[in-house]
Amino acid sequence: MDVTKLEGCARLVRTAGLEPNVLQRRAWALCLAGKDVLIVAPTGSGKTLAAVAPLPSLLAGSSAATTPETSDGSVRAVFLVPTRELAAQVARACAPLATEGVAVAAVHGGESFRAQMEAARRAALVVATPGRLLDLMGEQERRETARPSSSPLSLSRVSYPRLASR
């Protein structure tokens, strides 16, 4: 395992004012090795940062869209969550990713569709609820009109999917 990448994860957690824990270090090693990881732990144990801290290393060298100038409408990582409250919480926990050049967008119901689409197009990581993600991908319109949306959000380049439950 590349110690430099593990230290990058630890540095990211420290920017959030936290000290990395055993759960996070074990999860990072598996994520960085390309393994699927299931984390079951109490609330407040650091599961979110365990799942997202490897992102900068995993996206390094990829064509991750992180700025409006480089955005191509393709997201590189998705963190799917069941509720808008959890989407907002996970997006806040992902804030340290910005220090590594990974733009994050939270997309969920109850907020402006247009603003969320614009944010998602600039993001490398989208934290989303299933319904709003489908809306952004144009699925709702396709079902209703039987024709493709003019410019749906693409998930064709996602290489880092994550799921969360309450």
What are the pLDDT digits (tens) for 9-36? 999 899 888 899 999 999 999 999 888 8
pLDDT confidence band for 156 (50 / 70 / 90)? confident
Which has more confidence, 51 or 144?
51
d(CA 65, CA 97): 14
Number of residues that make up the chain: 166
CATH 3.30.70.100 fits 3-163, yes or no: no
Taking only the tens place, the pLDDT of each residue in 56-68 is 888 875 544 344 4
- Specify the residue for token string 């996070």: 24
pTM for the predicted model, two decimal places: 0.80
